[in-house]
Structure formats: structure tokens, C-alpha cells
Amino acid sequence: SNKKIGIIVGSLRKESFNKKIANYLMQHAPEGYQLECIEIGQLPLYNQDYDEGNTPQSYSPFRTKVKNMDAIIFVTPEYNRSVPGVLKNAIDVGSRPYGQSAWDGKPAWVVSSSIGNLSAFGANHHLRQSLVFLNMPTLQQPEVYIANVQKLFDEQGNLTDEKTGKFLRDTLSSFIAFAKRFDKL
């Protein structure tokens, strides 16, 4: 049966470059792997009171969807040198109620991009800090930092830079090989 890999994008923008990277990965899923986008824009801001009741309707399907994934890919921009609030909110929602984290033990891959040269390094590494606490074994190498991302796509949103395409496809394979290790022992 197909293994399921969830993709979470840290931007809600319609023309988001990170969404375009995520779409490229979804279009290049290897045989036997299903890559599926997990939406986060519908999640109200997390409030710990919700753990005691009146939980927003969208929380439960989101948590269930994450739990049903065998692995998670994060594709994110950087906002003010960190993870966009919308992504951090999704991480917080998925992590609660205490002791029922949807993220626990799921292998993760972090892809970051920016329209400048720095490639969202700050967001990439702040995200990794949360993944340590969430007990998500994260692909270490190769790291994926995509610079000047606006230059890599055509008007239709297709990736036109084959060097980047090959790097993303190869690293997706590396991630799958990495994630498979966690079923071994």
C-alpha cells in the first residue's frame, strides 16, 4: 500500500513560491509514495483553553490528517528571520492536547526558500529547533536552501531551473530513504 507523506507550506499566499516548490515535489513523488498537502490556513490561533473544550472545529481533522501521515515535509519561507506565524500556529495546534501530539516520531524534512540570497536559513533552523522538541527525526543532509526562488519558475508556476529540479528530486529520494530507516529495528 502507498506510504503517505504530508506537505505543509508555511505561506498562505496564492502565488506563493513555496507552494510552487511543494507542487513540484507532489508532481515528482516516487512510485509507492503519495504526497498530500495539509492545509493550515483554516486553523484559528491556538489557545490552551481549547484543550479543555470548545475546540475549534478545524483542529480535529487537521490533527487526524497529520497522525495518518508516515512522514512530513515542511516547505517554508522566512518572515522576520523566523518561521511564519501561520506555520508555528499549525505546529502548536498539532502538538496538543499534552501527550497527544500528532507529530510525535514522524520523520521530517525541511525545505526553505526566499526571494533573496539567504534562502530562509533563519526559518529553516528555528523550525528545526521545534522539531527537536516534537521528537521528529529530521533529515540533516543535504540541507535545502533555495535562494532567489522567484527566478526559478515560469508564469504558469512551472519550475524551469533543472538544476534545482534535480536537487529537489534527489533530496526527496534521500528523505524517503532516511524516513524508511525508522521502521527498521
Give the interface with ligand FNR as residue ranges (CB under 6 A).
11, 13, 16-18, 77-81, 114-116, 118, 120
In terms of CB distance, is 6 or 77 closer to ligand FNR?
Answer: 77
State the residue for C-alpha cell 539567504.
118
* CA gap 40, 37 in Å, rounded: 9
> Smallest gap, in angstroms, from Cβ of residue 76 to ligand FNR?
8
State the residue for C-alpha cell 522567484.
150
In terms of CB distance, is 11 or 95 closer to ligand FNR?
Answer: 11
In terms of CB distance, is 97 or 116 closer to ligand FNR?
Answer: 116
Question: Would you tell me the crossing angle of helices 85-94 and 121-133 to the nearest 10 degrees?
Answer: 10
In terms of CB distance, is 68 or 129 closer to ligand FNR?
Answer: 129
147 close to 116: Cβ distance less than 8 angstroms: yes
Q: What is the largest CA-CA distance in the chain?
A: 50
DSSP state of 42: T
> Smallest gap, in angstroms, from Cβ of residue 38 to ligand FNR?
16
In terms of CB distance, is 91 or 123 closer to ligand FNR?
Answer: 123
* CA gap 42, 12 in Å, rounded: 10
**C-alpha cell recorded at residue 123:** 526559518
> Smallest gap, in angstroms, from Cβ of residue 118 to ligand FNR?
5
> Smallest gap, in angstroms, from Cβ of residue 157 to ligand FNR?
11
Q: Within 16-108, where are the H helices? A: 17-27, 59-67, 85-94
> Smallest gap, in angstroms, from Cβ of residue 111 to ligand FNR?
11
> Smallest gap, in angstroms, from Cβ of residue 143 to ligand FNR?
16
Question: What is the C-alpha end-to-end distance of the chain, expressed in Å?
Answer: 21
In terms of CB distance, is 38 or 118 closer to ligand FNR?
Answer: 118
18 close to 113: Cβ distance less than 8 angstroms: yes
